[in-house]
Structure 1
Amino acid sequence: MQQQQQIGMENSELFKLLAGTNSSFFHSTTTMHQSLCSSSSNDYNNHPLELSEITDALSQQQDRALAALKNHKEAEKRRRERINSHLNQLRTLLHCNSKTDKASLLAKVVKRVKELKKQTSDITELETLPSETDEITILSISDEDYSDLVGDGRLIFKASLCCEDRSDLIPDIIEILNSLHLKTLKAEMVTLGGRTRNILVVAADKYHSIESIPFLQNSFKSLLERSNSSDRSKRRRRLN
């Protein structure tokens, strides 16, 4: 009887031990499973956020690249427009056809600049006193001293006319300047021994700057020829 009770107690304790062990095992397994599920859930939730940040960064970088490309194209367009505008101005000044290519246009510009440079080097300064011979001198000068009078970039040059003094000379000069649309900035006249020298600083019309120099020179030549012809006629009348 006592032996059966002892066996029953041992079985009861063994059952409790097994029951406690299984409970701990099941609790540990459940906790591990929950931990794994929680970790997987966190990874799943964090991963889309990282992709979104990368996508936003790439999108911003692409937008900046497109904006820079657009600005470059606009700047290049403005540069071409400025170049074409200056080329058209050169074509107008040199009386070139609108179809004149850039190489031919630049060749004409170089030729004209050389002509002006030669003209400048030939005349270092204009004489003040009248000489014994008739003279016509026209020289392009810097506009620094007359920038307050002419501020639109027009060509400024100095003209000297030396000839016999006569009463109608000044009105004839004024008529020539008006016909060529030349603005007088400064005028000097020196008379000595029946000879006179008129020195004029004039500004050319901005639409006909280059042509003004040869036109003025030809007009002064015609004026001298008329003056000499008139003097010869007067001498003949006196002799008769």
Structure 2
Amino acid sequence: MVLLRQLERDMQQFQRYYKSGTCTIQNSLARGLTSTNTINHKFSFSKPKSKFESKQLAAKKHSEAERRRRMRINGQYATLRDVLPNLVKMDKATVLAETVRQVRELRKTVSDLEAVCRGSSSTKDCVFPGEANRLSLENCDNHQGLVKVTFSCEDRPGLISAVARTLRSMKGRVVKFEMVTLGGRTKNVLWVRGLSGGNEGIVMLRRALKVVIDRPILPGFSKKSYLT
């Protein structure tokens, strides 16, 4: 009897152990399947693109780059159409040919200007304005009472009017006047007669003109807008 009860208890323990082991195995299998599904799911997102997809993407990028390049070229042609003077035809071939012609003319002009400046006896005799402000006054030896005034400075509205007022205040009268403007700068040569005060008057005129030519451009004034 005792042996029978002991055998029943052993069988119950064995059954409990077997059931718990089965649950553990099932849970492990379930977790394994879930983990496998997760790995497969992640792997599907990181799968490399096919050759067709790669070629399609490269073609799209190339097409977009080509579109941007054409837009830049068309924009540059539009700028040339606005800048070139007396342009009759607007097609690209005409615009390009006219641009080449204008550049060649400008190069020739620059060469001519450089030759003129090199041929001058000194820098101050160059007929074109320099980069720095300059002012000189000298008596003309062959003409009694005639003063030659030469100055270079930034070109701006009202410059000549201010110079004229300064000369009138010194009783001076302009008998000859030359002006060259290039690149936003101007060079002016004036022959003035009738200055009062002799040499002292020339010194006073120099001081007054220096104030005029060194006067800064007003903040609201754009040299580019004035030139155009």
* TM-score normalised by L of structure 1: 0.37
* TM-score normalised by L of structure 2: 0.39
**Which structure: greater helix fraction?**
1
* Greater C-alpha radius of gyration: 1
